[in-house]
Structure 1
Amino acid sequence: MFYYKQSLLLILLCLSGLVPRSAAFVFWTALVETHYSLSNNDTMAKYCECGIYGRSSPLEKASGLVVLPKGDPTGCGSGAIYGQISNSTDWIALVKRGNCTFSEKINAAHRQGAAGVVVYNVDGSGNGTTHMSHSDAKETVAIMIGNIQGTEIARSVKNGTVVRMFINVGSPHGPWMDTYWLYFLSLAFFIVTAASIAYFVFISANRLYSLGRHRRAEKRLKSEAKKAIGRLEVRTLKRGDELTDPDSMCAICIESYKVGEVVTVLTCDHIFHKTCIEPWLLERRTCPMCKCDILKALGVEEDVKVDVSPSSPPEVTVITVAGADTLYDVPLNAPMSPEAEQQQHHYDNRAFEEDSEAARG
């Protein structure tokens, strides 16, 4: 159990380190909608999921007129890079990558009130984009678009075309699935662990309950067995008793009976040393030879309830006993005649029975 807890703690520490590291590679696309106001008062709109939010950019919407920086298209420097712009006008700065950091470009536009910053890539990169890092500029929406698209928009603005841009949040891409997969694995791990612990607790509690019930049952049966043993016939062997014959022996200790030894006669008429049979009966409560249940035979078992209707014959338990060269059935609880009651105690030594009958005759 100790090693199990250590392993669990190690896995949790690994997961806690992997999830934030994987989350750092998640990037979100931006939906870019561009409206061009043509000379004939018509509007041409272009729409694409072609932008990528910067790593430190708020995942929010932004919209406004597209404004280019004066002179240097990269938007680097300080002061009024974008000229005089009305505070009531929502505008988006369009700058080219290069000459300074992304944070410097974004902060320069933010100081003049830009609602967002769009950085287009360097020449020769086509419409390729990268995931901008700008940890020093976190308040302004910032995205990157490809060079071809950015150059086209910048050319239109320089030619006097009014261009309005709408930026909306797209969807997560890249290794983001790894992050969600790690979250899923973490959740599945905790669920499986909780289910395993619950199952272990249930099995342990059920086993303890079964063991306790078994101990109580064994204790009760031993108490019943003591009552049954007290009702069995006990006698002391005397000189001349046929059981003292060398061929007669106790089936438990496999030793011959001797004069002066105390023997116990079971309900099935099998005879054993008293010191041998009593420990056996306390543990097993059956005859070692014929498996006869002494508790049922003597009617001292509390849980045994026999319900016999007047119209049905009584149930009779019969056991098969080997004697001499023949097999015969002995009923344990069948009604007996007066003659049978006088002869209900038989012994497993047939010669002793014949001599006893001759003596009575």
Structure 2
Amino acid sequence: MGWRRRPEARGWAREALALLALVLCAPGARGRALEWYSAVVSTEYMDPQTNRTVWSVSESGRFGDSSPKEDAQGLVGVPRPADSDPEGCAPDTRFLVPGRRAAPWVALVARGGCTFKDKVLVAARRNASAVVLYNEERHGNLTAPMSHAGTGNIVVIMVSYPKGREILDLVQNGIPVKMTIGVGTRHVQEFISSQSVVFVAIAFIIMMIISLAWLIFYYIQRFLYTGSQFGSQSHRKETKKVIGQLPLHTVKHEEKGIDVDAENCAVCIENFKVKDVIRILPCKHIFHRICIDPWLLDHRTCPMCKLDVIKALGYWLEDVQETPPPEPAPGAVAANLITLQGDDRCDGNGSPSSSHESVPQGEAIFKEDAGENTALLETGRSDFQHGGPAS
């Protein structure tokens, strides 16, 4: 038969998962929800070689965190090549806007060199209606979130590096490019902050340490309990052997020394009946065997006088070792005990057989039960009840 885990041992994993869920859902465990909007970027210009209008539209931009989510349009302007500042960070940066007269214009600058806020403020001072930043080359077609608080109500978006370079090359070649910016799709992305990750990791480690300590404690207690059970079973086995040495007797009709109508067992409070098997304790109190044996296994004492029956027989079961009973003084047993015979035969003159000791007047004689020890009994009914000496 294999071992079966107890419910306490199975429950720790569920408790661990529940605790982890509470940690993740606790206030502060989650980072803030990231909400951002994509931007629809539309460009239009005249191809000088074919004299055809080239028009393109794609949802390739991303609005800045502090930018108003609204439409904007105008001719694209870039920092003048003579300024050698494609990032547009210098406060006196001038912009080249081909074909512009009085129409609104949109500033196109590269990412890097300074903060997003600085770039936006430089373009805003030049009356740009919107600012478009294109990402660095190493990021490819990706865009990134932008934090530029304090720039007012100017529209700010970011486009990918290829898209930005394409428009930049057209403008630097003197081709007017009209750009229209529209609001695209709303995106919501939840993420866990680094501090929350550290907090969850520490909480999980502590939880695992506590669970491991609890498991170790549980199995130590189980081991100790199993050992005590083995010791208790061995102790009860030895006690049962000692109890088996107590005399037994079967109640008969007109039993001398026992008033069948008046005597009762102190354990079950029922009168003794004919053919009842009784157990005689060293204190001379008598009980039903089926009543007193379980009592002695648990208590070891007489229910009436509290005599320690095991010690009275000369045993010390605490050490699980038997010690020989003390030898009685010469004549002490002979004065109070008699040996019971299988049948109380007398010789032809009515006197007891010469092979046995004579029985004094008033002493009760019990027969030996089949398969049981020889029963010894004090004289007189009063000796059964009070353990007094023979009269």
- TM superposition score normalised by structure 1: 0.48
TM-score, structure 2 normalization: 0.45
Larger radius of gyration: 2
Which protein is richer in helix relative to its size? 1
